[in-house]
């Protein structure tokens, strides 16, 4: 089954839940369907695409730093190359791993294959490249919003 988008009562995105979890939330009446598939029903409820919580949930955990991941770096940078702005599909270490660079938010950026290959085992300055935007540590909420 597909994932269902979950919104807080204030319509802010909280993430996704499984289809089965979404149906359980509808049956327990803790959520309502905001967007549905037109032609399908699950009992008395339309087949959900997006559900919204009935009561507001204070999601303070959403504003903590997000755990590091390759997918997170691509989401943070909007799948855009940090050097040229074209579509990015790879991760580049600003300070190469061979020189002590780590797998951290502050040292990795999304990059297109062309720029990643051009930079190689050098720093951006040595390769004649300029970062369009400095890497930063995003919150969980920023990554959920970037997911769209």
Instruction: Compute the distance between CA of residue 25 and CA of residue 30 in angstroms, rounded to an integer.
Output: 5
Label residue 59 exposed, middle or buried (CB < 10 Å: 0-12, 13-18, 19+): middle
The pTM assigned to this predicted structure is 0.65
pLDDT tens string 41-71: 888 888 999 999 999 988 777 788 999 999 9
Per-domain residue ranges of the chain:
3-58, 65-147
| Rounded (to 5) percent helix, strand, coil in the chain | 30, 30, 40
Distance CA 124, CA 142 (A): 26
What is the tens place of the pLDDT at every residue in 102-119? 999 999 999 999 999 999
65-147 fold: DNA Binding (I), subunit A (1.10.30)
Task: Please give the DSSP secondary-structure letter assigned to residue 80.
Answer: B
């Amino acid at each position: 089954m597909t994932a269902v988008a979950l919104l807080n009562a204030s319509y802010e995105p909280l993430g996704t839940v499984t289809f089965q979890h979404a149906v359980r939330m509808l049956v327990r009446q803790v959520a309502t369907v905001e967007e549905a598939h037109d032609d399908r029903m699950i009992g008395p409820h339309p087949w959900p695409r997006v559900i919204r919580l009935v009561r507001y949930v204070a999601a303070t955990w959403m504003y903590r730093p997000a755990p590091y991941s390759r997918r997170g770096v691509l989401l943070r940078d909007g799948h855009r190359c940090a050097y040229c702005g074209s579509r990015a599909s790879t991760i580049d270490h600003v300070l190469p791993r061979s020189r002590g660079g780590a797998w951290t938010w502050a040292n990795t950026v999304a990059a297109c294959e062309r720029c990643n290959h051009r930079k190689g085992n050098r720093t951006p300055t040595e390769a004649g490249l300029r970062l369009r935007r400095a890497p930063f540590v995003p919150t969980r909420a920023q990554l959920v919003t970037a997911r769209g």
